[in-house]
């Protein structure tokens, strides 16, 4: 295994960004930048040994400074939506930016993907890791408490991209970290993901209101287009006349995972049959957001001059349920002073 680094350009604030690239002995290559702790590329082989970048992203730092779609992004302090852009902890109400109608999405206009991170590299025989860390100060984005936060990306010899999240607050606060990588196993610039097949280890999902905030219900997927318990084409039911799909313009829903949460378990699989590529998802989080790229629009500085349109990428965002801070029946994303947030997500790549 080897790791290299080079300049990735200078931000509008005059900060020098670095691109870190890890390659294992099989040739799988993953790149990251210390600006935003973003995943820049994931290059994996197909069934014939041809290597392709399957992670949507940008050619330069200017793309990641804009990045309205959150391509490859670390999302925090709270991933997904908070209804009314406000919440209460210990009797005190906190207000956030309203960046999606009256709600807060991914913590506002300036998320964790818009900051520079300190970097530390760890090299082992079977794995190389990069830790990105920073202090998120009290009331940044409107959230209480200073938060020591880090994300560690590791590439293993088993073609696994492992993401380890770690955060410790100095007072009660909300913590819900995820990654917003858009995947297209046929290649980042290959078009629609509707022929990809998805499997989810989930019998239930959280339906939403018209503004995509969960109603508080947890419904069975059985007999609905939301059912991915058997491997199914993304496009099979995506345009069905079903209220939840009509509201979101496709899949943009949290699935309640059928796992204990005590250990990392396989929760999802993505298959692209023409290339033979397979991606398995493992996590210890209670939920996963399946997002079929319904709101994607062309963005500047895309890699290789690609034009990313609606449904050209798909996301598997491991998480606490959306708006759980305002819904006592959902697993809680509130952590007390000194309480450690730790989570692991693994994306494992292979061919069939």
Q: Tell me which residues are annotated as active site.
A: 180, 317
Give the per-residue SS3 of 176-193. ECEECCCECCCCCCCCCC
Residue 67, Cβ density class (10 Å: 0-12 exposed, 13-18 middle, ≥19 buried): buried
Cis-peptide, bond into residue 77, ω within 30° of zero: yes
Q: Is residue 5 classed as helix, strand or coil in its secondary structure? A: strand
- As a whole number of angstroms, the distance between CA 84 and CA 95 comes to 9
Q: Is residue 158 classed as helix, strand or coil in its secondary structure? A: coil
The set of residues, in sequence order, having a beta carbon less than 8 Å from that of 40 and lying 6+ positions away, is: 8, 19, 31, 32, 33, 55, 57, 58, 64, 72
Token pair listed for 58: 């940008």
114 within 8 A of 74, measured Cβ to Cβ: no
The number of beta carbons lying within 10 Å of the beta carbon of residue 18 is 16
Among the listed residues 150, 159, 151, 152, the one whose alpha carbon sits nearest the alpha carbon of residue 129: 152
């Amino acid at each position: 295994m080897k790791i290299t680094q080079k300049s990735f350009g200078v931000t509008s604030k005059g900060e020098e960004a670095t691109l870190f690239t890890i390659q294992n002995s099989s040739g799988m290559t993953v790149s990251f930048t210390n600006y935003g702790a973003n995943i820049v590329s994931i290059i994996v082989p197909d069934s014939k040994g041809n290597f392709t970048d399957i992670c949507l992203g940008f050619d330069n730092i200017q793309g990641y400074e804009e990045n309205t779609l959150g391509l490859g992004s670390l999302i925090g302090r709270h991933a997904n939506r908070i209804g009314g852009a406000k919440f209460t902890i210990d009797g005190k109400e906190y207000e956030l930016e309203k960046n999606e109608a009256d709600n807060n999405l991914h913590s506002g206009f300036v998320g964790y993907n818009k900051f520079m991170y300190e970097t530390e590299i760890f090299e082992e025989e079977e794995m190389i890791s990069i830790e990105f860390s920073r202090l998120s100060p009290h009331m940044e984005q409107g959230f209480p408490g200073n938060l020591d936060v880090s994300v560690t990306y590791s590439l293993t010899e088993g073609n696994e991209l492992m993401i380890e999240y770690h955060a410790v607050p100095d007072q009660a606060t909300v913590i819900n970290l995820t990654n917003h990588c858009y995947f297209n196993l046929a290649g980042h610039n290959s078009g629609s993901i509707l022929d990809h097949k998805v499997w989810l280890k989930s019998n239930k999902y959280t339906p939403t209101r018209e503004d995509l905030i969960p109603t508080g219900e947890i419904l069975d997927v059985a007999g609905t287009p939301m059912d991915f318990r058997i491997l199914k084409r993304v496009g099979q039911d995506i345009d069905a006349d079903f209220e939840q799909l009509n509201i979101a313009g496709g899949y943009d829903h949290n699935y309640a995972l059928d796992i204990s949460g005590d250990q990392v378990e396989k929760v999802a699989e993505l298959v692209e049959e023409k290339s033979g590529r397979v991606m398995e998802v493992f996590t210890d989080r209670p939920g996963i957001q399946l997002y079929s790229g319904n709101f994607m629009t062309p963005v500047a500085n895309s890699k290789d001059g690609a034009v990313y349109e609606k449904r050209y990428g798909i996301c598997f965002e491991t998480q606490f349920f959306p708006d759980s801070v305002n819904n006592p029946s959902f697993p809680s994303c509130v952590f007390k002073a000194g309480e450690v947030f730790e989570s692991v997500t693994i994306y494992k790549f292979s061919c069939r």
